[in-house]
C-alpha cells in the first residue's frame, strides 16, 4: 500500500483535449483556442474582468508585482508562513519583504501585526490563502484602501474557497493562482493573474511577452520576460475546470471524514475558522502534539506520505537579512507541530480510514 501526498485527477476530458490541441489545432505554443477558453473560464469563475495565464504561480506573482510597479526601495508585507515563491518574487523585484506572523486559529496573516508594520515605503501586501484558508478580507480591504496600499492575493492553495460568499481570487488588485501538479486545478505547470484593471492587465501582459506591446512587431517597451502558458497546458486546464465543483465536493467530503475519524484524538487539532470563511481542502492539515519526526517515519514505514507545514521564510537562508533576527512564534509553532495528510479527489474512503488508523498508532508509540 502506498498513499501519496497528492495526486492529480486527470480522469475527465484532459487526454481528449490534449490530443485535440496536438492533432487538430497544431497550436502547441502560446496561442490557441484552449488558452483563450481557459482564460475566459477563469475570469468567469472568479468574477474578474481579465485573466492572464502564466507559465506558473511564481511568474504570476512576479508579474503582479511588476505590473503594480513595485521595485527597489518599496516594502511589501507578506506572511512568513508561506511557500517561498510569495517572498522570492518580492526580492526578485528588488523590493524588501516585511514579514508578519500567522494567526493561531486559522493560520492566515495577522491584520493587527500588519498594521504595525506599515511605513511610508509600504507599497503592497501579499495575502496568502494558506492551506485553502481565505485571509480576513473585510478588514484587510478596509485597511488597505484607507492606507492606499495594493493587495496581491496569493490564492495558489485555495482555488474554490470563499470569504463572505465571494470567491478567493476576486479580492486583490491582482489575484494569483498556481496550477502546479499538486494544486486543486492543475495544468502540470501553470498559473494566472486575475484583475479588473485593464491598464494593469496590459502592463502585466507586456512583461509576460518579452516586453512587446504589439506581439509580432519587434518593438520592446521594457526588458520583459517569457512567462507564457502553452495551449497544450491550457487544454488540460479547460478539462480540469469542467470538474472543478466535483473536485471541491470530493475534497470537502474527505476533510469531513478526516475530521470525524480524528475528532477524539486530544493531541490532534485542525484549523479553526469563522462561518464567513469557506475554506477548501487543499492539503488536509493538522497540528499534532507529538514528535513529528517519529510520526512521519511511522507513516512512511506504513506506506503513507505526510508532509510538514512550511518552514517559515524568516528562518530561511535567503531571507534571514530581511528578518533581522525577529521571531514569529505562531509560524514557528505551526511549523513544529503541523502535518499535511494525503489529499486528492482520487483518494478512497478506505484509504482515509487507513491513514487515520496509522496516525493513531503513531501517536501511541
Ligand X SMILES: *Cc1c(COP(=O)(O)O)cnc(C)c1O
Q: Smallest gap, in angstroms, from Cβ of residue 363 to ligand X? A: 28
Interface residues for ligand X in 110-149 (CB under 6 A)? 128
- Residue closer to ligand X (CB basis): 229 or 363: 229
Neighbours of 301 (CB within 10 A): 10
Q: Smallest gap, in angstroms, from Cβ of residue 183 to ligand X? A: 6
- Residue closer to ligand X (CB basis): 182 or 297: 182
Q: Smallest gap, in angstroms, from Cβ of residue 131 to ligand X? A: 9
Q: What CA–CA distance (Å, rounded) separates 154 from 83?
A: 10
Q: What CA–CA distance (Å, rounded) separates 115 from 284?
A: 30
Which helix (H) or strand (E) covers residue 269, if one does?
strand 268-270
Interface residues for ligand X in 84-103 (CB under 6 A)? 85-86
The cell for 339 is 502535518
Q: What CA–CA distance (Å, rounded) separates 242 from 320?
A: 43
Nearest to residue 182, comparing CAs of 190, 194, 174, 173? 190
Q: Is 322 in the site for ligand X (CB under 6 A)?
A: no
E strands present in 55-168: 75-79, 96-100, 122-128, 150-154, 162-163, 166-167
E strands present in 55-129: 75-79, 96-100, 122-128
Single out the segment in contact with ligand X by CB under 6 A; choices: 78-86, 94-102, 117-125, 333-341: 78-86
Q: Is 154 in the site for ligand X (CB under 6 A)?
A: yes
- Residue closer to ligand X (CB basis): 178 or 358: 178
8-state DSSP, 309? P
Q: Is 56 in the site for ligand X (CB under 6 A)?
A: yes
- Residue closer to ligand X (CB basis): 67 or 191: 191
Single out the segment in contact with ligand X by CB under 6 A; choices: 53-61, 99-107, 109-117, 353-361: 53-61
Q: Is 178 in the site for ligand X (CB under 6 A)?
A: yes
Single out the segment in contact with ligand X by CB under 6 A; choices: 10-18, 52-60, 271-279, 297-305: 52-60
Q: Smallest gap, in angstroms, from Cβ of residue 232 to ligand X? A: 16
Single out the segment in contact with ligand X by CB under 6 A; choices: 137-145, 151-159, 215-223, 333-341: 151-159
Q: What CA–CA distance (Å, rounded) separates 299 from 305?
A: 7
Q: Is 172 in the site for ligand X (CB under 6 A)?
A: no
Q: What CA–CA distance (Å, rounded) separates 261 from 332?
A: 27
Q: Smallest gap, in angstroms, from Cβ of residue 180 to ligand X? A: 4
Q: Smallest gap, in angstroms, from Cβ of residue 72 to ligand X? A: 23
Interface residues for ligand X in 210-269 (CB under 6 A)? none
CB 162 within 8 A of CB 11: no
CA distances (Å), origin 328, targets 100, 115, 289, 324, 360: 7, 16, 19, 12, 30
Among 171, 180, 225, 247, binds ligand X (CB under 6 A): 180
Single out the segment in contact with ligand X by CB under 6 A; choices: 55-63, 107-115, 117-125, 325-333: 55-63
Task: Spell out the long-range contacts of 140-146 with Cβ–Cβ below 8 A and sequence spacing 24 or more.
Answer: 140/111, 140/114, 140/171, 141/171, 143/111, 143/114, 143/115
Q: Is 57 in the site for ligand X (CB under 6 A)?
A: yes
Q: How many CA atoms lie within 13 A of 211 on its CB side?
A: 7
Q: Is 153 in the site for ligand X (CB under 6 A)?
A: no
Among 74, 101, 157, 255, binds ligand X (CB under 6 A): 157
Q: Is 82 in the site for ligand X (CB under 6 A)?
A: yes
Contact residues for ligand X, defined by CB under 6 A: 56-58, 82-83, 85-86, 128, 154, 156-157, 178, 180, 191
Amino acid at each position: 500500500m502506498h498513499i501519496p501526498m497528492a495526486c492529480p485527477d486527470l480522469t475527465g476530458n484532459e487526454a481528449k483535449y490534449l490530443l485535440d490541441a496536438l492533432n487538430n489545432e497544431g497550436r502547441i505554443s502560446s496561442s490557441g483556442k484552449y488558452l483563450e477558453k481557459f482564460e475566459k473560464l477563469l475570469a468567469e469563475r472568479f468574477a474578474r474582468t481579465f485573466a492572464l495565464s502564466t507559465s506558473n504561480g511564481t511568474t504570476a506573482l512576479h508579474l503582479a508585482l511588476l505590473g503594480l510597479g513595485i521595485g527597489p526601495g518599496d516594502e511589501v508585507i507578506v506572511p512568513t508562513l508561506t511557500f517561498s515563491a510569495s517572498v522570492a518574487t518580492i526580492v526578485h523585484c528588488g523590493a524588501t519583504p516585511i514579514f508578519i506572523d500567522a494567526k493561531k486559529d486559522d493560520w492566515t496573516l495577522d491584520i493587527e501585526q500588519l498594521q504595525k508594520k506599515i511605513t511610508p515605503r509600504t507599497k503592497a501586501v501579499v495575502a496568502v490563502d494558506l492551506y485553502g484558508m481565505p485571509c480576513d478580507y473585510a478588514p484587510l480591504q478596509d485597511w488597505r484602501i484607507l492606507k492606499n496600499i495594493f493587495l496581491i492575493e496569493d490564492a495558489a492553495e485555495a482555488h474554490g474557497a470563499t470569504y463572505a460568499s465571494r470567491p478567493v481570487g476576486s479580492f486583490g488588485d491582482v489575484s494569483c493562482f498556481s496550477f502546479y501538479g499538486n494544486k486543486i486545478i492543475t495544468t502540470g505547470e501553470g498559473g494566472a493573474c486575475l484583475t479588473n484593471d485593464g491598464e494593469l492587465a496590459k502592463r502585466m501582459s507586456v512583461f509576460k511577452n518579452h516586453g512587446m506591446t504589439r506581439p509580432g512587431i519587434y518593438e520592446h517597451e521594457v526588458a520583459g520576460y517569457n512567462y507564457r502558458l502553452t495551449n497544450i497546458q491550457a487544454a488540460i486546464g479547460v478539462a480540469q475546470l469542467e470538474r472543478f465543483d466535483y473536485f471541491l465536493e470530493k475534497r470537502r467530503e474527505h476533510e469531513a471524514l478526516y475530521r470525524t475519524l480524528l475528532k477524539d484524538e486530544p493531541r490532534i487539532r485542525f484549523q479553526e475558522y469563522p462561518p464567513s470563511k469557506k475554506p477548501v481542502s487543499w492539503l488536509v492539515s493538522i497540528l499534532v502534539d507529538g514528535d513529528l519526526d517519529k510520526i512521519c517515519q511511522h507513516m512512511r514505514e506504513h506506506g503513507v506520505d505526510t508532509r510538514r507545514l512550511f518552514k517559515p521564510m524568516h528562518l530561511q537562508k535567503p531571507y534571514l537579512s530581511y528578518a533581522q533576527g525577529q521571531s514569529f512564534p505562531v509560524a514557528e509553532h505551526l511549523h513544529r507541530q503541523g502535518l499535511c495528510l494525503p489529499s486528492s479527489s482520487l483518494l478512497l474512503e478506505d484509504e482515509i480510514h487507513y491513514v487515520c488508523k496509522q496516525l493513531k498508532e503513531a501517536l501511541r508509540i
